[in-house]
Amino acid sequence: MPIFPAQKIPKEKMKEYRVLLYYKYVEFADPEKFMKDHLEYCSTNEILGRVYIGKEGINGTVSGKVKNIEAYKAHLRSYHEFSDIIFKEDEADQHAFKKMHVRVKNEIIHSDLEGVSLNNGGKRLKPEELLEFYEKGKDFIIVDARNWYESRIGKFKGAITPPMKNFREWVNVAEELEAYKDKTIVTYCTGGIRCEKASAYLVEKGFKDVYQLDGGIVSYTKKFPDTYWEGGVFVFDERRVVEPNTKEELKYVARCYFCNQPTNYYINCHNLDCDKILVSCHKCKIENDYCCSDECRKSQNRRKRYYG
């Protein structure tokens, strides 16, 4: 298996901000108190983002300056429930969020799989092991547990990308995967939170050999860009999409709705009665006034113009 040594980044090239993605399924006794305390901590320490807390655990993505993010990680790990939490971390030029939200949720990721036991989760497959699956030509099925508009921007080579509008449709996907019940199945998502539940559901439905990609797409693409991930990675912050690959043939899988040129950018149609998600290059989004059609451009119910 190839080894990719870590490269030391010169200080002058390091960016001032960091973006964290993390989650942990764990029994948590007092989500309401945590919500209030955590919001106060983040407000005091210039941390922005979104954190969902519930009795089943925590799911968060936040941004801040390096010093504040380091303090934030230590603060979160000071809770015994989160002492071993794993953070996925990206550099950024600025905050990736505009506000800070902390919410109490019954589920830290909406799934309608509340009865599923995470003790039945698929075997954790490290990025190195997935790379080896591909390199050695293993017979396996790899399945995207994300929404359709996420997989439209990027996916693993040969992946099944179900047309899910949201993760609550995973029960339907499982039915469609019945033909592969005796095959090796690898599930993946952005950071691991969805495929942990998705894989457990498959195991409980009798699938024989189920894996979950440990750390998700983010962990894999950080270690092994320009290999078997194709396109961009959809993220739920102001960056919208990150591009891990440098090889031109692996940078894009999506094409502009208007001109058919390769792109990793997308918008929502600015007619609020439509709100269709469109893959669009920067040139075409402006030329088409952030709308999908002439009819939508004429709508009086338009969202405020965004000039990004």
pTM of the entire predicted model: 0.90
In this structure, the dihedral spanned by the alpha carbons of residues 205, 207, 208 and 213, taken in order and rounded to 10 degrees, is -110
Do 78 and 139 fall within a single domain? no
Task: Identify the CATH number of the domain in which residue 60 sits.
Answer: 3.30.70.100
- Give the range of the structural domain holding residue 264, as residue numbers without chain letter: 255-308
Report if residue 232 sits inside a domain.
no
**pLDDT above 60: residue 12:** no
Give residue 7's pLDDT band: very low, low, confident or very high (50, 70, 90).
very low
Taking the C-alpha atoms of residue 214 and residue 223, their distance in angstroms, rounded to an integer, is: 12
Report if residue 78 sits inside a domain.
yes
Do 140 and 180 fall within a single domain? yes
Q: Check residue 234 and give its pLDDT.
A: 94
Do 50 and 72 fall within a single domain? yes
Report if residue 6 sits inside a domain.
no
Do 211 and 133 fall within a single domain? yes
Do 33 and 100 fall within a single domain? yes
Do 43 and 130 fall within a single domain? no
Query: Where among 78, 104, 130 does a domain terminate?
Result: 104
pLDDT tens sequence across 142-174: 999 999 999 999 999 999 999 999 999 999 999
**pLDDT above 70: residue 61:** yes
Q: Which residue has the tokens 């990004």?
A: 308
Q: Check residue 281 and give its pLDDT.
A: 94
Report if residue 272 sits inside a domain.
yes
Q: Check residue 9 and give its pLDDT.
A: 42
pLDDT tens sequence across 245-304: 999 999 999 999 999 999 999 999 999 999 999 999 999 999 999 999 999 999 999 987
pLDDT tens sequence across 236-248: 999 989 999 999 9
Query: Where among 76, 104, 132 does a domain terminate?
Result: 104
Report if residue 229 sits inside a domain.
no
Q: Which residues pair with 271 in a beta bridge?
A: 302
Task: Identify the CATH number of the domain in which residue 136 sits.
Answer: 3.40.250.10
Query: Where among 82, 104, 126 does a domain terminate?
Result: 104
CB 69 within 8 A of CB 20: yes
Query: What's the whole-number average pLDDT of the chain?
Result: 93
Give residue 10's pLDDT band: very low, low, confident or very high (50, 70, 90).
very low
Report if residue 164 sits inside a domain.
yes
| Total structural domains within the chain | 3
> Which parts of 45-138 fold into alpha helices (H)?
66-77, 127-135
Do 195 and 132 fall within a single domain? yes
Report if residue 235 sits inside a domain.
no
CB 88 within 8 A of CB 218: yes
- The answer to whether residue 189 is catalytic is yes
Do 100 and 59 fall within a single domain? yes
Report if residue 244 sits inside a domain.
no
Do 304 and 268 fall within a single domain? yes
Q: Which residues pair with 64 in a beta bridge?
A: 18
pLDDT tens sequence across 16-45: 999 999 999 999 999 999 999 999 999 999
